[in-house]
Amino acid sequence: MNKKRAWDINDPEVRLMVERMKHELADELGIRVPLDGYWGNHASKELGQIGSQLKRRVPVLLKKTTDEQKKRN
């Protein structure tokens, strides 16, 4: 089952947004953000919490952004 995403992670703007959101979620969950950007030293459970929240929030955020852009045009 291959679901088509409405967003492209290779888009630099989307990637930057996801990285920012990842850091915000880590702060919310009390997970220390690695200074070097390497998340491999964290437990899978912690990273799974971040990933599941990203999966929920990114599409909603992108939909809001595209809706706002449509209203401007």
Query: Which residue range(s) make up the domain with 68?
Result: 9-30+57-73
Q: Is residue 70 in a domain?
A: yes
Whether pLDDT at 20 is above 60 = yes
- pLDDT tens digits along 54-71: 989 888 887 887 777 778
pLDDT-derived band at 11 (thresholds 50, 70, 90) equals confident
Residue 1: the pLDDT is 44
Q: Is residue 16 in a domain?
A: yes
- pLDDT tens digits along 26-46: 999 999 998 998 999 999 999
d(CA 39, CA 25): 13
Full-model pTM: 0.72
> Can you spell out the DSSP letters for 14-70?
HHHHHHHHHHHHHHHHTPPPPTTS--TTS-HHHHHHHHHHHHHHHHHHHHHHHHHHH
Whether pLDDT at 15 is above 90 = no
Give the chain's domain count. Answer: 1
